[in-house]
Structure 1
Amino acid sequence: MLRQKTFTKVTGRGSVNKVIREHYLRDDIPCGVVGCEECARLSTSHDCTLLDPSKQVLITTSVGKPHIVLPDTNILLHHLDVLERAPFTDVVVLQTVLEEVKGNSLGIHRRVRSLIAQGDRRIYVFSNENNKHTFVEKLEGETDNDRNDRSIRQASAWYGQHLKKFNEYGVVLLTNDAANARLAKEAGIVAMNLKEYCRGLVGVVDDATMILDMLETPTELPSTDGVEYSEYLSVGLLQAGVQAGKYYQGTMQISPYNSQTGSISCDATTIRIVGRSFLNRAMQGDSVAVELLPRDQWISEKHQGDEEEEAKDATEKTTEGNIEEIVSFPAIETVPDQQVSSTATPCGRVVGILKRSLRSYCGSIDRKSIRPDAGTQNVLVVPLDRRMPRIRIRTSNATNLATMRLLVSIDGWQVTSKYPHGHLVRVLGTAGEKSTETEVILLEHDVAYADFTPQVLSCLPSADWKPLDSDYLEREDFRHLTICSVDPPGCTDIDDALHAFALPNGNIEVGVHIADVTHFVRAETPLDKEASSRSTTVYLVDRRIDMLPGLLGTNLCSLKSNVERFAFSCIWELTPEAQIVSTRFCKSVIASKASFTYDEAQSRLEDEKASDPLAASLKLLNSLAKQLKARRVEAGALTLASPEVRFTLETDTMNPVDVILKEMKDANSMVEEFMLLANISVAMRIYAAFPDTAVLRRHPSPPADNFAALNHALAERNVPSLEVSTSKSLADSLDRIVDRNDPFFNRLVRIMTTRCMYQAQYFAAGSVGYDAFWHYGLACPIYTHFTSPIRRYSDVLVHRLLAASLDAVKFPVSGDRPRLEEICNNMNYRHRMAQQAQRSSIELYTHLFFKGKTVIETAYVIKIMANGIVGLIPKYGIEGLVKWDEMTLKSAGVTYDSEGGRFTKEGRPFLYLFQKISISISVEEIESSQRQKLVVHLVEPALKEASDVSSRPMSTGQKRAMEP
């Protein structure tokens, strides 16, 4: 029977779309219970997993017999952690529930799917929306939520009726919605809330007490500081207001320096939300609707320093059921109406939440909120993410948890409560331990680090896999060529290898050979879906979180030396001047002759006597690479910089013992140039073949406003401004910035320039016009990623596109651009999270490196705020915040010059951007959050000696710093 289904779907950006789908109602959809003869007769694909008599089933004291559990949507959205931890088996996830979860949170949907894939849990997906016995029509005037609740009750009732033939089996609907539970019981359905059900685990499973602790709900507390938030407008009013232009829609971005200040970007406009009441319980990542304030309420916010959480929300007094706090609000100044247009930013207030950013948060209990003599009590958890408010949870184990890192979820935020309330998800480990803090980094950046599931691993070939004769038929044989790879030391996932040799006509053949990952990762398999979800390999200081299982990433796909490997090759014929004569692509089989590190390859390049085939190939490649780079730079490609470091770790303890700044040598540049050339060549090919679905990478041109602060600082130093209209003009501007007395100055400006840029993004070709394909940083009209398929899913897609363009295979998502755009959005998100996780890992090991020691180093001022400065320490590639209170600055005779963006003494510059300073570095622990903090103090110029310094003539070093 053909039916038409209409529903609304909230997108990742918070917009609500109406979706109309046609679907068939069937009577042959199986129930999934082992031994159900009725379903076996109706269906030829009866996937029997539930209530298997040959396997142990969970019998709780709250039910008392084998049973099926049907959780509703809110149980999965808010308590999936309980289902993941508790030994729940024989669970039915309804299609209605799965679709609702996906519409609310893709992250939770992925976790549900991962849980379903664990065969030992016996979790069965029942297509109730396609079963004619369980499908329900939406009634007139009925909300989507009420219709879906009714659908869940209908499916629960059907299961109860269907299983009556099994007298020993029961069916339980899990719901925390009191109204839904009442209606279910009136219909004769057994319904329980999750806590009631889990009480039946006591005496049945070992960790029942911890599971119940995860379900504790904090007692509601009256506000103690006069805070009472505004009620949110209904979704209907919000949607109508956004469409009418009355409200602005955007994703809330909370300031990392002040958790009571946020902003949204909408239609190229940034709207600031300042203050607790105007934020109105909106949190980082929420999709919100904002009402613009009158112009006379727009503000000019003073530059603030980094305010630690305990300073803003120090818990002074704690009693059972009553937590009192002292709060300091951000300093703001109202701008007179006539000055608004030139000095203020538009400001607004949150009037509603279109979509909550549902996730769990890592943190520690604020010890000051614990009552040692109390049993079950409310406590405050301080999230490690400084943008998040404290979270009130209830626990019976507060004292024992005081030294632990916890994972907590937010359940809600009442209008009369200062803080959101939530529950404990799990205990991560002791705060400060490397293993615990590393897991925190992975969780905070949403990195999938769990072991690959059996379903994923079942897609792998055997460990002793050998190619078949048929595998060679459509591959070119390059095993005779002098091919080698050049990678960082210790690299085991080798994606790329190269070769070069002179042709009889005087030209040169160059080949870039990339691991043929798609030979093993077939589209739409569990392995492919897992790789798509992870999207990238994440590199931390002490470990690597792989996108692909190790059998592929470090073995069968890795282009190790002296073994045969399948590759996808890009072959050019180049003139000696590095001009392309021809380009071709092919599947190939290679046998790399050597796996060089960058230093080993560099030694070959610098050894004038080395003339063996490998050295000759490397020198030929290097000669061509220098010409390619010179041509790119001439076209406007940017040479930017970032303070990258590498730690030397002890073999046994994995503690950091040294920090080494990464260097860029000819060998690095040689590999980079040919990877860039391959990516550009492949981009042109796949776009010509698939102008609507080619997966490309673009780097938007940054607006001049992004460079305003940097140019102002350069002007203060009498250095010409950066011209950013084109990448060529910016590159030329950067080349002209030279300080003969300080070679690092140019690199410093390049580092700060990098921070003014937009991030590059993956996209589907048909989603934007061709002019938007431009890659600003590389100064090329089209670009993609082809050269790292072991560690990037984007490259896997590009390999499939390239193969399809050669008529080797069909591109799996050809013609499905919306799905491709969804994949690209996930890749952009995962790539961004991986970068941030890597930085956090470096920060963790930096803290470990400086723990117990104080080091004095040279730094450069890269940011000036009203209460401090940020200094970049080149030797360690880290930044440190030096801050002072108003009294300290006043006693030192130092004044903050907001117009000039510097500190002065009697009109003379004292601290200013780009200034070379000396600082001390140490590490201390923040008591409330148990977070390690890098503590930086100014040594030279000494703040306490400011009056002496200012009264003397400027030193030679200070004069030089102020000269171009």
Structure 2
Amino acid sequence: MHTTKVFLKRNKIGNYLKHAREHYIRDDIYCGFESCDKCIRASSNLSSKHVNKCELFQKNHYLILDTNVILDQIDVLEEDVLGNVIILNTVLKEVKHRNMPIYKRLISIIENGSRHFYIFINDYHKDTYLKQETTELVNDYNDRCIRKACSWYAKHIPSENFVLLTEDKDNRLIAQNEGISSYSIVEYVQNLPKNTNLMDKLAKKEYQEKLNAADIFPPHLTMLEIDGGIKAGRLYQGTFRASRDNFLEGSVNIESFEDDIIIRGYNNLNRVIDGDLVAVQVFEKDHWVSPSELVLEDDTINALDDNLEKKELELSKQPASKKNIKPTGKVVGIIKRKWRQYCGILQEGSAGVYHLFVPADKKIPKIRIETRQAETLKSQKIIVAIDSWPRNSRYPNGHFVRALGKIGDMKTENEVILLEHDVPHSQFSEEVLNCLPKLPWAITEEDEKVRVDLRSIDICSVDPPGCTDIDDALHCRPIDDNKLEVGVHIADVSHFIRPYTALDEEAAARSTTVYLVNKRIDMVPDLLSSNLCSLRGGEERFAFSCIWEMDHNANILHTRFHKSIIKSKRAMTYEEAQLTVDDKSQTGSLAQSLRNLNKLAKLLKMRRMDNGALVLASPEVKIMMDSETHDPIDVEVKKLFETNSMVEEFMLLANISVAEKILSDFPDCAVLRRHPEPPAINLEPLVKAGKHLGFEMNMESGKKLAESLDKAARDDNPYLNTMLRILATRCMLQAVYFASGTLQKYEYFHYGLAVPLYTHFTSPIRRYADILVHRLLAISCHADATYPDLMDKKKTAELCHNMNYRHRMAQYAGRASVALNTHLFFKGKIQDEKGYILYVRKNALQVLIPKYGLECTLYLGKKDQKLDIFTYNEENQTQTCGDIVFHAFDPVTIRLSIDSKNIQHEKFVLQLVHPSVEGFSVPPLDAEMAEQEVPQKKRKK
């Protein structure tokens, strides 16, 4: 039996076309109850043994939920107190449409048999399907369908009790008038026995005592007003980014403006939170300002307290810069919230049931929550979600989600890092693990027939010490006196991860392996990452090989690709490979291969540099851990060898060669990587820094910039060039993945590498982008079959968007892990260290300490006290005190220690040792050093 839905759709010229859609109604849909003798039996998780206990009812009962209960109270539903819950298909579809992450969490609950959740397909059942009225709103129609299903269950299984939980007061009243037992989730949870934890987890849209409070913020415009304002050109929309240095300032990126729109001041920010999509009103030009030069100390960044107005007034009195004026405006409405769950701690001193939660992310304001577990939670890192931010509340309202563990515990702190950077890190599901090959695994005769056998070639891998996920291996052997064969062999991960499997979906969702100091979050299960796909020495493995014929000047004569079987002769570290290259007594084929590879790599690098590739820099830190306690025992900048560069050059060359191949065969759906040229405004800090140092930074092209950086060196400051390259790195835009059919060819260019085409092929164990590239290359080589999604540029673009996000978050998580362990290493230590000024700010110096790769802030004032002995020159970007002038890149000696007063935000405290500023500097720890120091004098112009 079927019914026909008719709906009208407007065409391009304004006429309406009638569309008909058939909707099949069935009489064989199971209600889910074991005791039912009317339905055809099927699988169900509902159980007569589970009893829902609530003081509102004397008997056991089954729960039916509306959409908003699931969307707002998923944290409550994840608690195992609630069971025997019926999820209507009408509700499930609406949840999926409105919030995919919550839909996935709901499905996880439903799939857990012990929770006793059951999906009833009400919208296809002959007795519960309802036709939508012509003028009926979708929400009203869905509510009617839910009530119909509740009434049907009560008649169908009269021996059982059914309760509808809905957040809609009107719907609840209608349901009660129709004889349906209906309550709000708050009423229901309040009447559960031992409900303390669940009460804390309830999302609350408003707090009662705030309902009649005076407004603190201006009201937000309605969506209708926002839409009209944007269409009329009065308003603009964009994503808000909070300042890391000033909690009273942020910016909004708007396509029609070259510069970001500055938002400054409590009222102008108007309850916006980092990441929100907002509507902005831009002020007239005479009200535009320049970005703040102030750096606020950590304990004031999250200070939305009773002294806020005073702090805002003090900041507004700071002299405004007349240079670098940018468009300025205010937030007038929220288009879409980007709220997530936040990690942090309860603020000390709170009393009663209402408490302030201090997020670990300094860009997020404090959150007001209600909890009866404060005594227990005050020593814990906890997770909190935001529910609302009414205009009469100084803080957003939220609710407790769960506790992570004791503050300061390494396991807890690592969990915080992963959660704060949205890193998927749960255990791989049984469904995913079932996709893995069974052990023992071995290469078969069938495998040997379809792959090129390279097991006899002297192939080796070169990686960091302790590396177990070995993606790549190399070889080089002579063909004749004039030619060499060079091979890059990459783990054939795509052989084991097939499209549309649970393993493939999980790898796509994770997109990248995340490396913390003492932990690795794998993209794929360990059986693949550290075993079957890892090109370990002495073991036979599947590979995807890129083979070149080259002359001795590193000119490529021919390129070929094929799937292969290899047996790496040795897995080497960079240092071991370097010793092999340098030790002339080693004359074996492996040593000769490495020497030829090293020689060719130098030629390839020279050619890249001549083409305008940039050599940028960022201080990479290595944390040495105690093997037993796993505590950090040393921090040092990573040492690089020629062999690091050797491997890098051939990986770059393989990526370029593969990019050319897949683009030629798949012009619309090739997965490529681009690095956009930075806009001129991004490079201004580098231009200014160079000018102050007497160097001209030519920004006409990447090649000109590379040449300028090469020339910017001084004998009296050997670290100066490195700092300029660090600064240049921070001026760059992010490199991103994209689908070739979504951009014009001139946009494919990779600015940093100075190549027209680039992709990622060489790390499929730890990057999903490389798996997609392998699949495309396999089709080009006739080694595998295609599948629809791979040829769909829209779906490829969606995957690229997720890969870019996950890659960025993985980088941030790695840096946060290094920062955490560096703090632990310095705890209880006081050291004088050599540093260099990276930036000169209005009230601070940003100091780089090369020995530890640290960048810290030296404040030119004392807390709650203005220090007038320094004079800031905005034009020259200098700070002056008497005869002493601080310029960018000047060497300084600073005292380094850790301030642990704020248990969540421990911070480095810097004190100036040299040059000595009377009333500000501290004497050196080493008295002999003090005698050798010569005061730094003002430079002559």
- Normalised by the size of structure 1, how large is the TM-score? 0.88
Deviation at 1:50, TM superposition (A): 2.6
| 1:638/1:727 contact within 8 Å kept | yes
Deviation at 1:231, TM superposition (A): 2.0
Change (3 A) 1:344 1:892: closer
* Unaligned runs of at least 5 residues, structure 1: 9-19, 318-323
Instruction: Give CA deviations for 1:118-165 in whole Å, capped at 9, x if unaligned.
Output: 45545555666666766666666665xxx2464155146326525744
Deviation at 1:606, TM superposition (A): 1.1
From 897, 908, 914, the equivalent of 2:889 is 914
Instruction: Give CA deviations for 1:445-469 in whole Å, capped at 9, x if unaligned.
Output: 1111111122222222224233443
Deviation at 1:711, TM superposition (A): 1.6
SS, match of residue 199 in structure 2: helix
State whether structure 2 residue 196 is matched by structure 1 residue 209.
yes
Aligned to 2:14: none
SS, match of residue 729 in structure 1: helix
Aligned to 1:321: none
From 15, 27, 30, the equivalent of 2:25 is 27
SS, match of residue 659 in structure 2: helix
SS, match of residue 186 in structure 2: helix
Aligned to 1:320: none
Q: What is the CA–CA distance in structure 2 between the aligned matches of 1:402 and 1:892, rounded to whole Å?
A: 40
Aligned to 1:300: 290
Aligned to 2:338: 357
SS, match of residue 450 in structure 2: coil
| 1:135/1:151 contact within 8 Å kept | no
Name the stretch that deviates more: 542-551 or 130-139.
130-139
From 143, 154, 157, the equivalent of 2:145 is 154
Change (3 A) 1:684 1:312: closer
From 245, 249, 252, the equivalent of 1:264 is 252
Name the stretch that deviates more: 767-776 or 893-902.
893-902
| 1:105/1:357 contact within 8 Å kept | no
Aligned pairs (5 A) from 1:581-592: 581-592=557-568
| 1:23/1:130 contact within 8 Å kept | no
Deviation at 1:228, TM superposition (A): 1.9
State the one-letter code of the partner of 1:780: V
Q: What is the CA–CA distance in structure 1 between the aligned matches of 2:123 and 2:234, rounded to whole Å?
A: 37
Aligned to 1:15: none
From 67, 70, 74, the equivalent of 1:76 is 70
Q: What is the CA–CA distance in structure 1 between the aligned matches of 2:583 and 2:805, rounded to whole Å?
A: 44
Aligned to 1:565: 541
State the one-letter code of the partner of 2:286: D
Aligned to 1:612: 588
Change (3 A) 1:495 1:192: farther
State the one-letter code of the partner of 1:804: I
Aligned to 1:701: 677
State the one-letter code of the partner of 2:412: T
State whether structure 2 residue 439 is matched by structure 1 residue 460.
no
Deviation at 1:115, TM superposition (A): 4.4
| 1:892/1:945 contact within 8 Å kept | no
Name the stretch that deviates more: 438-447 or 286-295.
286-295
Q: What is the CA–CA distance in structure 2 between the aligned matches of 1:159 and 1:902, rounded to whole Å?
A: 73
Q: What is the CA–CA distance in structure 2 between the aligned matches of 1:328 and 1:589, rounded to whole Å?
A: 66
| 1:761/1:828 contact within 8 Å kept | yes
Aligned to 2:620: 644
Instruction: Give CA deviations for 1:648-674 in whole Å, capped at 9, x if unaligned.
Output: 111122110001211221111111111
State whether structure 2 residue 236 is matched by structure 1 residue 255.
no
State the one-letter code of the partner of 1:295: K
| 1:578/1:628 contact within 8 Å kept | yes
Aligned to 1:757: 732
Aligned pairs (5 A) from 1:346-425: 346-368=327-349, 370-371=350-351, 374=352, 377-425=353-401
State the one-letter code of the partner of 1:286: D
Aligned pairs (5 A) from 1:763-782: 763-782=738-757
Deviation at 1:176, TM superposition (A): 2.7
Instruction: Give CA deviations for 1:750-803 in whole Å, capped at 9, x if unaligned.
Output: 011100000000111111100000000011001111111111111111111112
From 166, 170, 174, the equivalent of 1:175 is 166
Change (3 A) 1:60 1:518: farther
Q: What is the CA–CA distance in structure 1 between the aligned matches of 2:529 and 2:478, rounded to whole Å?
A: 33
SS, match of residue 78 in structure 2: helix
Change (3 A) 1:130 1:166: closer
| 2:45/2:113 contact within 8 Å kept | no
Aligned to 1:503: 479
Deviation at 1:427, TM superposition (A): 1.1
Aligned to 2:186: 195
| 2:912/2:921 contact within 8 Å kept | no
Instruction: Give CA deviations for 1:89-119 in whole Å, capped at 9, x if unaligned.
Output: 4545555555554555554444445445545
Instruction: Give CA deviations for 1:78-97 in whole Å, capped at 9, x if unaligned.
Output: 33222233354454555555
Change (3 A) 1:812 1:947: closer
SS, match of residue 299 in structure 1: coil
| 1:293/1:347 contact within 8 Å kept | yes
Aligned to 1:289: 279
State whether structure 2 residue 718 is matched by structure 1 residue 743.
yes
Instruction: Give CA deviations for 1:330-378 in whole Å, capped at 9, x if unaligned.
Output: 6236999xx98x652111111211111131111111113x12xx4xx21
Instruction: Give CA deviations for 1:695-733 in whole Å, capped at 9, x if unaligned.
Output: 11100001121121222122122222x222221111111
Aligned to 1:545: 521
Deviation at 1:857, TM superposition (A): 0.6
Aligned to 2:910: 936
Aligned to 1:276: 266
From 303, 316, 325, the equivalent of 1:332 is 316
Instruction: Give CA deviations for 1:364-417 in whole Å, capped at 9, x if unaligned.
Output: 11113x12xx4xx21111111111111000111223322221110000011111
Change (3 A) 1:363 1:166: same
SS, match of residue 558 in structure 1: coil
From 37, 43, 48, the equivalent of 1:48 is 43
State the one-letter code of the partner of 2:337: R
Deviation at 1:70, TM superposition (A): 4.2
Q: What is the CA–CA distance in structure 1 between the aligned matches of 2:529 and 2:127, rounded to whole Å?
A: 47
Among all aligned residue pairs of Structure 1 and Structure 2, give the percentage whose two residues are the same amino acid.
41
| 2:203/2:387 contact within 8 Å kept | no
State the one-letter code of the partner of 2:655: N
Q: What is the CA–CA distance in structure 1 between the aligned matches of 2:493 and 2:609, rounded to whole Å?
A: 32
Name the stretch that deviates more: 420-429 or 208-217.
208-217
Name the stretch that deviates more: 774-783 or 160-169.
160-169
Instruction: Give CA deviations for 1:491-525 in whole Å, capped at 9, x if unaligned.
Output: 11111111121113631111111111111111111
| 2:546/2:559 contact within 8 Å kept | yes
| 2:845/2:860 contact within 8 Å kept | no
Q: What is the CA–CA distance in structure 1 between the aligned matches of 2:912 and 2:237, rounded to whole Å?
A: 43
Deviation at 1:745, TM superposition (A): 0.9
State the one-letter code of the partner of 2:25: D
SS, match of residue 900 in structure 2: strand
State the one-letter code of the partner of 1:332: S
SS, match of residue 869 in structure 1: strand
Deviation at 1:57, TM superposition (A): 6.7
Q: What is the CA–CA distance in structure 2 between the aligned matches of 1:618 and 1:561, rounded to whole Å?
A: 16
Name the stretch that deviates more: 785-794 or 61-70.
61-70
Deviation at 1:682, TM superposition (A): 1.1
Q: What is the CA–CA distance in structure 2 between the aligned matches of 1:767 and 1:792, rounded to whole Å?
A: 21
Change (3 A) 1:328 1:232: closer
Q: What is the CA–CA distance in structure 2 between the aligned matches of 1:389 and 1:739, rounded to whole Å?
A: 45
Name the stretch that deviates more: 686-695 or 23-32.
23-32
Deviation at 1:838, TM superposition (A): 0.7
- Normalised by the size of structure 2, how large is the TM-score? 0.90
Instruction: Give CA deviations for 1:511-567 in whole Å, capped at 9, x if unaligned.
Output: 111111111111111111111111111100110111111111111111112222111
Number of residue pairs the alignment of both structures matches: 919
Name the stretch that deviates more: 100-109 or 408-417.
100-109
Deviation at 1:818, TM superposition (A): 2.2
Name the stretch that deviates more: 675-684 or 128-137.
128-137
Deviation at 1:285, TM superposition (A): 0.5
Aligned to 1:786: 761
Aligned pairs (5 A) from 1:86-101: 86-94=80-88, 97-98=91-92, 100-101=94-95
Instruction: Give CA deviations for 1:232-261 in whole Å, capped at 9, x if unaligned.
Output: 222232223223322111111011112221
